[in-house]
Amino acid sequence: MVEAAVAARGFDVSLTVGPGETVAVMGPNGAGKSTLLNVIAGLLQPDSGRSGLDGKTLFDLTEGRNQWTAPHRRGTALLAQEPLLFPHLSVLENVAFGPRSGGAARRAAAGSALHWLAEVEAADLRSRRPAELSGGQAQRVAVARALAAEPGLLLLDEPMAALDIHAAPLLRRLLRRVLAGRRAIIITHDALDALMLADRVIILEDGKISEEGPTRDVLQRPRSRFAAGLAGLNFVAGQITGHGLRAGALNLYGQHDDLPGPLPTGQPGVAVFPPSAVSIFLSEAHGSPRNSFAVTITDLEPHGDGIRVRAGEGGLLTADITTAAAADLGLAPGMQVYFVVKAGAVAIYPA
């Protein structure tokens, strides 16, 4: 449980993590994700708020109170983007650092270190120096070191970000195994990490939580532009009408099959649709239940086997089409075209 505000960074967040639950924190750069972890770990003191872990007060800076637990008494091990293994200690000594600091005898600490090294499949690296490890090996050892401290809450700050594309899948698989049933908060930029590792996802924007929920729900029914971007969906926010959604001059028809009852007309709502469901026409197309709206192309970029066409204000609307189709239409930035989406492909729900 943490409630904290840091005025200087415009940060105000309240969050609870259940026992055995892993929460993914996602959001744009500078949204306050690292601030959140640093506040929980005790490396940054918030202006106000309180936080507790397993009945222990981490900090309580509410009106009239000034309780503060030092980082080393919190039991919140931090795994950063860089492994930050102590360069002057061997791998085994690095992993034994937590148990040793917790007061374990040398032999017991070494035993525990070996156990956790085996757990991350790095036992054969035990006598190496950190400088002799690859990036992936070092991060695996760093995971073992964090786990060996037996933290009540494990904090992971983009642990995969600094790894090359070959080392990341191995670590992700490893984390999936060790995070199961463990209380953890993981910061990530990758929807795959959230899906594989987390039970719940929190979207942090401008220092505030803009959206939270079970990972699948957030990715299937995003209520924020950021979450929609993660899920690879087009996102339009507006007002629910009798027929669909109105956003400025844009009227979208869509479906809301899986929601009970009619949509609350007049309330704020969102419409999402995948870029692959959008076709592009040079002239307005009418016909069976379709949405057709004029947009100006801002960018064309390669995307998988085809081309992603960005259009509209800020290039926020996207369409994925084949390279052949793009060539046939002679698409170029600055052109006005019509984006056409079947109503059946647009999901509309309250924001």
Q: Does 155 bind other proteins (CB under 8 A)?
A: yes
Question: Is 34 near other proteins (CB under 8 A)?
Answer: yes
Select the span of 51-59, 97-105, 249-257, 307-315 touching other proteins (CB under 8 A). 97-105
Secondary structure (3-state) at 256: coil
In the bound complex, what is the minimum distance in angstroms from residue 72's beta carbon to other proteins?
5
Among 22, 38, 69, 215, binds other proteins (CB under 8 A): 38
284: how many CB neighbours lie within 10 A of its CB?
10
Q: Binding residue for other proteins (CB under 8 A) from 4, 80, 113, 348?
A: 80
How far, CA to CA in Å, does 30 sit from each of 2, 210, 315?
20, 14, 22
Could you tell me whether strands 184-187 and 234-240 are parallel, antiparallel, or unpaired per DSSP bridges?
unpaired
- The Cα–Cα gap between 190 and 201 comes to 11
- Write the interaction track for other proteins spanning residues 174-213; mark x where CB under 8 A is met and - where it is not: ----------------------------------------
- Judge whether 271 and 350 are in contact, CB under 8 Å: no
Query: Cα separation of 47 and 68, whole Å?
Result: 12
Shortest distance, CB of residue 87 to other proteins, whole angstroms? 7
Please select the residue that binds other proteins; options are 32, 42, 159, 275, rule is CB under 8 A: 42
Nearest to 298 by CA among 345, 251, 347, 331: 331
How many residues sit in the footprint of other proteins (CB under 8 A)? 32
Residues contacting residue 140 through CB under 8 Å, at least 6 positions apart: 120, 121, 122, 170, 171, 174
Out of 102, 213, 229, 232, the residue judged to bind other proteins by CB under 8 A: 102
Nearest residue (CB) to other proteins, 143 versus 321: 143
Task: Using CB under 8 A, list all residues that contact other proteins.
Answer: 34, 38, 41-44, 70-78, 80-82, 84, 86-88, 97-98, 101-102, 145-146, 149, 151, 155, 157
